[in-house]
Amino acid sequence: MILFRFLRWIINRLGWYTCLTWLLLGAAQISLAYTLAAAIRELTVGLLLPAALIGLLAGWGLGAAKRVPAWLGLTILVILGVELALVQVGRLGGSLLVVGQSSITLTRQIWQQPLTMPNDLTSLSDSIKSLWQTVSVLGIRLWDWIAALASGDPVYDPVATALLWSFALWSVSVWAGWAVRRIERPLLAITPAGVFLAATLAYYPQDVSGLYVMLGAALLLVGLTRYWVRERSWQASGIDYFDEVRRESTLAVVIMTAVLVTVASLTPSLSIWQVARWFATSASLSRPLAESLGVRQAVKPVSNALVPFRSPGLPRGHLLGSGPELSDQVALIIQVEDPTAGEVVPRYKWRSLTYDRYTGRGWRAGTTQPFTYEAGQPTIDSIPPDRRRLQQTVQIIRPQGGQVYMAGDLLTINQPYQVEWRGPGDIFGIITEADTYQVDSLVSTADETALRSAGTQYPDWIEQRYISLPDQIPERVLTLARDLTVNARTPYDRAKTIEAYLRRFPYSLALPQPPLRRDIVDYFLFDLQQGYCDYYASAMVVLARGAGLPARLAVGYATGRYDPANNQYIVTEADAHSWPEIYFPNYGWIAFEPTAAQPTDDSPQVADVPAAPVGSQEREADPFTASGGEYVWGSLLIGGGLALIVIIGLAWLAVDRWRLRQLPPASAISVLFNRLQSQSQGLAVVIQPGDTPFEFAAALAQKLTGLAPSTRWEPALINAVDEVEWLTQLYVRTIYSAHPPQRSDQTRAIEIWQRLHRRLWLARVSRWWGFKRLGQSKNDLILG
C-alpha cells in the first residue's frame, strides 16, 4: 500500500509523461548494457549499468537546463563521463574518499592556524600518490591501446576497452536523455543506442532480445511523445478533452507497438537478424578493431575427434586425498645436458599436455590435427632468437599412455613420434611408443626486462584461442581480474600480480568435491580459498584471460628430486603438477607458478632469473620509485584536469561578462540585481513580497554587518555593504527614473558585481563555519 502511494506521489509530482519516458529510456539503456556485457569480453553489467542510468539522468538534466550554454554543458558532461569511467574501472572510490577526508582535515588546520604550516602532510600526499598511480596507469594503458590502433595493429586490453565502452555507453545515454527532454525527438534519441546494439550483434548474434526491447521502447516513445505534444497544444489553446483520451491513446500505442515488433520478428523482409547481418557485412573489414574492443566472436562447434586425454576436467584430480605413498611411485627418470647450468641445480617443469578451453567445470582440448614424424625429424626449420637448445633423456618408469614429457617447446625426438597440432606453433600433446627417448627442446632465455618490453602484438591464432572465456563466467571473477591488474602497466606485471595474489591461498589436498553447478574457479577464489595445483593453475589462467593475457593450462610433472651422483632427476607421482603459461610475443609460452606449495623460482622457461617475491611486482611498477614516467603521466592527468576546471571557470566568467555587456544597460542592471537577490538567499535574508529594493538592501547589509566581526574577512564584508547599496541605488534609478542608465553605469555595475559576487560567497562560507563552530562549542559545553 505504501509503495502504491509513493508511486502515485511520484507520478503526480513528475507527471505521467516524464515517468513513462524515464521508464522506457531506462529499459532501452538497460537492454543495451546487458547486451554489451554479454558480447564484450570481461565487461560486466555492474560496470555498465551506472554509466547508462547516470548518463541518462545527466542528459535529461542538461536538457531541462535551457539557460546553460551548449558548449559548457557538453564540457561538463564529457568531464563527468571520463571521471565516472575512471572511478568505476580503476576502483577509485576509496582513493577519492581518502583524498577528500585528508583535504578536509588539512583545510581545517589551515583555517584554524592560517599562518602556521601544517605539521603532517603525509596522509594527504600518500593518498594523492596512490590516486595518481592508479590514474597514471589507466592513462598509459589507454594511450598504448590508442597508439596500437593508430599504428594499424590493434591489441586487446581489458582495462582500456572497459574505459572506452563505459564512456561510449555514457555518451549514448546522455544523448538519449537530452534529445527526448530538449528537442522531444525520441527516435533520434534512441538511434545511437540502436546502432551500438546492431553493430555488436553483427559480431556476436547470440541473443537479439535486447534489439527487440530497443525497438519496442523507441516505438512507444514516438507514440507517447506525439500524443504528449498534442495534449499540451490542447491545454495551451484551452481545448477541452476527456481524460479517457489519454488512456485510450496509450493503449493504442502499446497495441501498435506490439504488433510492429511481432511482425518485425516474423516477417523475413523485416527480420531483426537481417539488420545484424547487414552490419556484419558492412563492418567485415573492421574485425581486428572489434577484437581489440573485446567483442566476442561466435564459437564454432568443435569436432568429436577425441583422444583419451582430451577432456580430463581437472587433470590432477587423482591427487585429492592422497598421501606420502605417491612419493614412492617413481614415474620418470630424466637426465639433462645443459651447458649453461652452473652450480645451482636448474628447476624444470616436465610438460606433457596443454589445454586451451575452460568449461567452468574443468578443461578440454579443442580440435587438433595429428602429424607423424620420423626419428630425428625436427618440427621447425630454424631455432628462433632468444631460445636455447636443451637435450633431455627421458625414461618412462610408469606407463603414461605414450605421452612425451619435456621442458620447453619441442624441436625433435630420436624416436618416431606423433604431434597433435592445434595450429602452427601450438601443440596439444606428443605421443611416442618408446619407453626411453631423447628429446631436444627449446627454452626461452628472456629475462624479466625482456618480458616487460614484449608488448601485446599477439598473433591472430593466439587472440582467437587463448583469450576467450565461457559466457557463463561469474561476473565477480572478471571484476577481480580487472581490479587486480588495474595498476599493472605491462602484461608481465599483470601476470606476476595475479601469481602473487593466488600464492596467498593455502595449499591442501584434503578438499571436498566442488559443487556440481558451480564454476570451479569462482568456487576456489571466493568460497574454498585453498586447494591444489589444478585450482591454482585454472584460476590464474582464467584471471589472466580476464585481464587480456593469452593463457593456457599445462599438465605434467614438477622438477622432482635431483640425484647429483647420477646427474638425473627422479620424478614421482607426488610431483604430478599443472601450471599456467602466458604467451609473450617473440618469446613464446612462459610458465608461472601460482601454487603455494611450489617454490617461487620454479619457472623453467626463464633462465637464471630469480622469481620476484610476493608484492615485488607492485614495487617495480610503482611510478614513484621507478623511472618516473608514470608519475609524469599522473601529474599531467591530475594537473590537466585541475587546469581544465580553472580554464572552464575563467571562460565562463569571460562569457558571462561579454553577455552582460551585450545587453542594454537597463536590462543588464536588472539582471545583476536579480542575481543579488538570488545570492542573498544563501545568507538566509528574508524577503517579503512587499519589500522595496531599499528594504531588501538594508536587510542584506544588516546580515553582512553581523557576520563581519566573527570572521577574518571583515574588511571584505564591510566593503560588500557599500557595493550592495550602490547597486541598489542604480537599480532603483533604472526602474523609476526618467533618465536611463548609461553604458558607463553598466560597465561599472558589472565590475562591482564581479567583486560583490565573491564577497557574498565568502559571507556564505563564514556563516556556515560559524554555525559549525557554535555547534561544536555547545557539544563541548554539554560534555564539560
Residue 640 binned pLDDT confidence (cut-offs 50, 70, 90): low
pLDDT in tens, 680-721: 777 777 777 777 888 888 888 887 777 766 666 667 667 788
pLDDT in tens, 364-423: 888 888 888 988 899 988 888 888 899 999 999 887 778 999 999 999 999 999 998 988
Distance CA 143, CA 160 (A): 8
Beta bridge partners of 392: 336, 439
Looking at residue 217, what is its pLDDT? 84
Greatest mean pLDDT range, 56-60, 195-199, 365-369, 578-582 = 578-582
Residue 285, Ramachandran bin (φ over 0: left; ψ between -120 and 50: alpha; else beta):
alpha
Helix (H, G, I), strand (E, B) or coil at 398: coil
Q: Any idea which of 70-79, 232-241, 305-314, 394-403 has the lowest mean pLDDT? A: 305-314
Tell whether the model's pLDDT for residue 340 goes beyond 80. Answer: no
Dihedral sign for Cα 48, 52, 58, 59, please: positive
Residue 538 binned pLDDT confidence (cut-offs 50, 70, 90): very high
Q: Any idea which of 232-236, 537-541, 662-666 has the lowest mean pLDDT? A: 232-236
Tell whether the model's pLDDT for residue 63 goes beyond 50. Answer: yes
Tell whether the model's pLDDT for residue 607 goes beyond 50. Answer: no
CA angle 553, 559, 561 (to 5 degrees): 155
Q: Any idea which of 7-16, 330-339, 592-601 has the lowest mean pLDDT? A: 7-16
Looking at residue 253, what is its pLDDT? 75
- Looking up cell 604550516, which residue turns up? 117
Distance CA 494, CA 583 (A): 13
Residue 536 binned pLDDT confidence (cut-offs 50, 70, 90): very high
DSSP 737: -
- pLDDT-above-90 percentage for the chain: 20
The residue that leads in pLDDT, 141 or 296, is 141
Looking at residue 66, what is its pLDDT? 75
Q: Any idea which of 181-195, 530-544, 704-718 has the lowest mean pLDDT? A: 704-718
pLDDT in tens, 309-330: 777 667 766 555 555 656 678 9
Closest CA to 484 of 548, 560, 429: 548
The residues, ordered by sequence, that sit 6+ positions from 683 with a Cβ below 8 Å of its Cβ are 700, 703, 704, 707, 760, 763, 764, 767
Looking at residue 89, what is its pLDDT? 87
Are 349 and 556 in contact by the 8 Å Cβ rule? The answer is yes
Tell whether the model's pLDDT for residue 122 goes beyond 80. Answer: no
Distance CA 570, CA 561 (A): 5
Tell whether the model's pLDDT for residue 25 goes beyond 80. Answer: yes
Q: Any idea which of 74-88, 328-342, 395-409, 453-467 has the lowest mean pLDDT? A: 328-342
Tell whether the model's pLDDT for residue 774 goes beyond 50. Answer: no
pLDDT in tens, 540-596: 999 999 999 999 999 999 999 999 888 899 999 888 999 999 999 989 999 999 999
Looking at residue 679, what is its pLDDT? 77
Tell whether the model's pLDDT for residue 746 goes beyond 70. Answer: yes
pLDDT in tens, 77-90: 889 898 888 888 88
H or E stretch including 442? strand 436-444
Looking at residue 128, what is its pLDDT? 84
C-alpha cell at 519: 564454476
Q: Any idea which of 168-182, 227-241, 555-569, 661-675 has the lowest mean pLDDT? A: 227-241
pLDDT in tens, 436-452: 999 999 998 899 999 99
Distance CA 556, CA 688 (A): 87
CB atoms closer than 10 angstroms to residue 406: 25
**Phi/psi at 121 (nearest 5 deg)?**
-105, 10
DSSP 676: H
Stated pTM of the model: 0.62
Tell whether the model's pLDDT for residue 179 goes beyond 80. Answer: yes
Looking at residue 392, what is its pLDDT? 95
Tell whether the model's pLDDT for residue 523 goes beyond 90. Answer: yes
Tell whether the model's pLDDT for residue 113 goes beyond 80. Answer: no
* Segment 500-513 mean pLDDT: 90
* Segment 186-191 mean pLDDT: 86
* Segment 230-259 mean pLDDT: 74
Distance CA 485, CA 481 (A): 6
Average pLDDT, the chain: 79
Looking at residue 144, what is its pLDDT? 86
Residue 333 binned pLDDT confidence (cut-offs 50, 70, 90): very high
Q: How big, in percent rounded to 5, are the helix, strand and coil portions of the chain?
A: 60, 10, 30
Closest CA to 79 of 656, 483, 643, 654: 643
Listed in order, strand segments (DSSP E) in 494-602 are 551-557, 561-563, 568-572, 576-584, 588-591
Residue 100 binned pLDDT confidence (cut-offs 50, 70, 90): confident
Beta bridge partners of 390: 441
Tell whether the model's pLDDT for residue 336 goes beyond 70. Answer: yes
Looking at residue 645, what is its pLDDT? 66
